[in-house]
């Protein structure tokens, strides 16, 4: 710590004591770090993505079996398309999903203006059909997306 000296009129010095300033800054940092609370994001859906490292080539080929479910906004409710074929409702979607293999990858593609409750209903239908590889895409425009 620097000891202040007597300054003469001709030689005036201004000295800032850095040690107490650094101590206060560290105390403030410790206080804010200790009182910090991380919030858990609400509405996060847990889904299991497919494993990239498969043991056999047959299992690796199964990773490419994608089933796309497009959720569009309709006048009387949501319109659901399974691989570009419109299904009558969630019960029809459930019947079609039961026919698919268990390890198929399902991609839910909602439009921008579709209410989240409809997307969650489609997700819950996939879970009822015992499908575990479910993922979502970013909401797109208003047209049904074609195959790639």
CATH number of the domain bearing residue 123: 3.30.420.270
Give the side-chain half-sphere CA count within 13 A for 69.
28
Say what the pTM is: 0.53
* Residue 16 is assigned to a structural domain of this protein: no
* Residue 63 is assigned to a structural domain of this protein: yes
**pLDDT tens readout for residues 73-129:** 888 888 899 888 999 888 898 898 888 887 788 888 888 888 888 888 899 999 898
CA distance 54 to 30: 46
* Residue 145 is assigned to a structural domain of this protein: no
* Residue 61 is assigned to a structural domain of this protein: yes
* Residue 77 is assigned to a structural domain of this protein: yes
Domain of 70, in residue numbers? 57-136
With cut-offs at 50, 70 and 90, classify the pLDDT of residue 66. confident
Say if CB 84 and CB 109 are below 8 A apart.
no
Lowest mean pLDDT among 39-43, 60-64, 89-93: 60-64
Alpha carbon 134 to its chain centroid, in Å, reads 13
* Residue 22 is assigned to a structural domain of this protein: no
Paired residues of 81 in beta bridges: 70, 86
Cα–Cα–Cα angle for 37, 39, 43, rounded to 5 degrees: 175
Average pLDDT, the chain: 77
DSSP state of 8: P
- Listing from the earlier edge strand, what are the strands of the sheet with 66-73? 85-87, 78-82, 66-73, 105-110, 134-136
Kindly report the backbone phi and psi dihedral angles of residue 41, in degrees, each rounded to the nearest multiple of 5, phi listed first: -65, 135
**What pLDDT score was predicted for residue 148?**
36
**What pLDDT score was predicted for residue 99?**
87
What is the total count of domains within the chain?
1
CA distance 65 to 77: 29
């Amino acid at each position: 710590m620097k000891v202040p000296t007597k300054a003469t009129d001709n030689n005036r010095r201004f000295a800032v004591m850095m040690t107490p300033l650094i101590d206060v800054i560290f105390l403030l940092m410790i206080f804010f770090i200790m009182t910090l609370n991380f919030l858990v994001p609400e509405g996060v859906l847990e889904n299991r993505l497919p494993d990239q490292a498969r043991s056999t080539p047959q299992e690796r080929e199964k990773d490419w079996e994608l089933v796309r479910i497009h959720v569009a906004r309709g006048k009387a409710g949501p319109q659901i398309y399974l691989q570009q074929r419109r299904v009558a409702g969630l019960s029809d979607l459930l019947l079609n999903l039961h026919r698919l293999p268990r390890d198929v990858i399902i991609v839910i593609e909602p439009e921008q203006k579709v209410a989240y409750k409809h997307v969650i209903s489609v997700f819950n239908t996939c879970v009822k059909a015992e499908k575990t590889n479910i993922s979502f895409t970013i909401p797109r425009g208003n047209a049904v997306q074609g195959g790639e």
